[in-house]
Amino acid sequence: FTDAHTPSALCCPTRYGLMTGRYPWRRGQTTWATPGAPLLIEPNVPALPAALHAAGYRTGCVGKWHLGLGTPQQRVDFNQEITSGPLDVGFDYFFGDAANRFGLYIENRRALGCDPANPFRIVDGRLQGGNRADLMKNEENARVLTERAVGFIEQHAAQPFFLYFAPNNVHTPLTPNARFKNASQCGVYGDFIAELDWSVGEVLSALDRLKVADNTLVVFTSDNGGRYEAEALKAGHRCNGPFSGQKGDVWEGGHRVPFLARWPGRIKAGAESPALACLTDLMATLAAAANAPLPKGAGPDSLNLLPVLTGETTASPRDTLVMQTGPAPVRSMRVFASSRFDLQGRTDDLWAIRQGRWKLIFGQGAGITTSPARAGKFYGLAELGHRHSDYTPDGQLKPDAPPGQLYDLAADPAETTNLHAQQPELVGRLTEVFERVKQRERASP
């Protein structure tokens, strides 16, 4: 798919959407969750791995979890058995980390490296204690996770299996193994991508070696758009191609992501589809591929893309999509919000709705990351070379810029020309569509 999107421009909310087929803002999840946050998937919300498990699949999760552990009443204690985590939403096996290489590995319900003489503790958001010899070494993380992913495939190759493999590459910190040093011409960021390429290759090779590739649907995608890194950008690598913005932004670069699928004999090699897709659609799509019935009410924002993938049709069942980026503070308590909330009056989130060729953003700017001027490690508009009708050449918002943004993505995929002031009727119609999407609990074609 060349027009695939995450429901959020941030990692954690997107993962919630992928696992539940539900827009993350429906539960109030609009930003990151800390490693000590409780499980974000509510007990009454059906999850994809549970549906596949019920259909007879062995289900495994390897890598970055980042969907919380424990409950609001009983926070996770890494020295004890871990409850309310991946195994409680349908996974039979888990090996990985709580959130973005949080110092320790968890296997099923136990953290590796527990030391009664030096128990784990979290101080100012950082992990302390434990047996250091068993803890995570960032430069070895990709190798360790890849070996576990391949091991899961080898163990279950003779039966239906579902593997959710979530590598930490290419999230910061950028720590490729030494053997990938100078593997690219784009600095350490490029080397980290090269390591990811190796990791994916190991998984695909395992499927081929075990002779299960022809009966396995593989999807490769990302939980948000890329973030520009200095060395890679200097070398000419623009991770988001022609699109404006980057991770954290509601502009296309923040949420338009790669979506590659392989299924020999079912998906034509080299085929491309311009159909609109969202990662929430993976729930309905994978369930259909596995002939796994979904419980009533499951995946309210998930539509089945399997007929598009297999070439039975070229038309996407989706014509409308809501994108969002949340507030920047990592320790926002919004992760503990109730299952629903009112979008009215909120000023810290930036929202957009896409329908057909049109995209309406309810506010000005990109969102969290791309600002008029450089902010710390984040490049500004002018440095990135973005040209925009609402901004001066040095990246400053013009005083007469309209309060919202409207783009014709068919004619202007880079979002350079804001048509908000010229198309008031269209703005009004899209606003009404947005209100209807907020209020309903079921997606429709």
Tell me the per-residue pLDDT of 293-343, one tens digit each, with 9 for 90 and over. Answer: 999 999 999 999 999 999 999 999 999 999 998 764 333 323 222 223 333
Give yes or no for a contact between 94 and 87, defined as CB atoms under 8 angstroms apart.
yes
The pLDDT tens digits for 161-187 are 999 999 999 898 889 999 999 999 989
Asked if 242 and 378 sit in the same domain, the reply is no
Burial of residue 307, with CB atoms counted within 10 A of its CB: 0-12 exposed, 13-18 middle, 19 or more buried = middle
Asked if 249 and 226 sit in the same domain, the reply is yes
Contacts of 241 (CB under 8 A, 6+ apart): none
Residue 192 lies in a domain: yes
Rg (CA), the chain: 21
More confident residue, 374 or 37: 37
Instruction: Report, as an integer, the average pLDDT of 431-443.
Output: 84
Residue 148 lies in a domain: yes
Asked if 268 and 154 sit in the same domain, the reply is yes
Tokens of 202: 């190991």
Give yes or no for a contact between 44 and 89, defined as CB atoms under 8 angstroms apart.
no
How long is the chain?
Answer: 445
Residue 444 lies in a domain: no
Asked if 97 and 144 sit in the same domain, the reply is yes
Q: What is the CATH number of the domain that holds 399?
A: 3.30.1120.10
From the list 434, 410, 408, 430, the residue with the least C-alpha distance to 419 is: 408
Q: Parallel, antiparallel, or unpaired: how do β-strands 161-166 and 58-64 relate?
A: parallel
Report the Cα 46 to chain-centroid distance in Å.
19
Asked if 172 and 270 sit in the same domain, the reply is yes
Considering the entire predicted model, what is its pTM?
0.91
Asked if 116 and 241 sit in the same domain, the reply is yes
Contacts of 27 (CB under 8 A, 6+ apart): 16, 40, 42, 45, 337, 338, 339, 340
**Average pLDDT over all residues of the chain:** 89
Number of domains in the chain: 2
More confident residue, 131 or 255: 255
Asked if 198 and 264 sit in the same domain, the reply is yes
Q: What is the CATH number of the domain that holds 304?
A: 3.40.720.10
Supply the pLDDT for residue 445.
Answer: 41
Supply the pLDDT for residue 228.
Answer: 87
Residue 146 lies in a domain: yes
Asked if 353 and 208 sit in the same domain, the reply is no
Residue 83 lies in a domain: yes
Asked if 307 and 420 sit in the same domain, the reply is no
Asked if 331 and 233 sit in the same domain, the reply is no
The pLDDT tens digits for 331-362 are 332 322 222 333 333 346 899 999 999 999 99
Asked if 304 and 378 sit in the same domain, the reply is no
Asked if 224 and 326 sit in the same domain, the reply is no
Given the residues 5, 11, 12, 186, the one annotated as active site: 11
d(CA 238, CA 13): 24
Given the residues 5, 12, 53, 66, the one annotated as active site: 66
Residue 445 lies in a domain: no
The pLDDT tens digits for 203-220 are 999 999 999 999 999 999
> Residue 278: pLDDT band by 50, 70, 90 thresholds?
very high
Which of 298, 316, 334 is the last residue in one of the domains? 316
The pLDDT tens digits for 24-73 are 999 876 677 777 789 999 999 999 999 999 999 999 999 999 999 998 88
Supply the pLDDT for residue 348.
Answer: 61
Q: Could you tell me the residue range of the domain that residue 363 belongs to?
A: 322-439
Whole-number Cα distances in Å, 141 to 40, 74, 150, 166, 381: 25, 29, 14, 12, 34
Instruction: Report, as an integer, the average pLDDT of 364-374.
Output: 79
Supply the pLDDT for residue 3.
Answer: 97
Instruction: Report, as an integer, the average pLDDT of 71-85.
Output: 89
Task: Please say if 237 is a catalytic residue.
Answer: no
Task: Please say if 66 is a catalytic residue.
Answer: yes
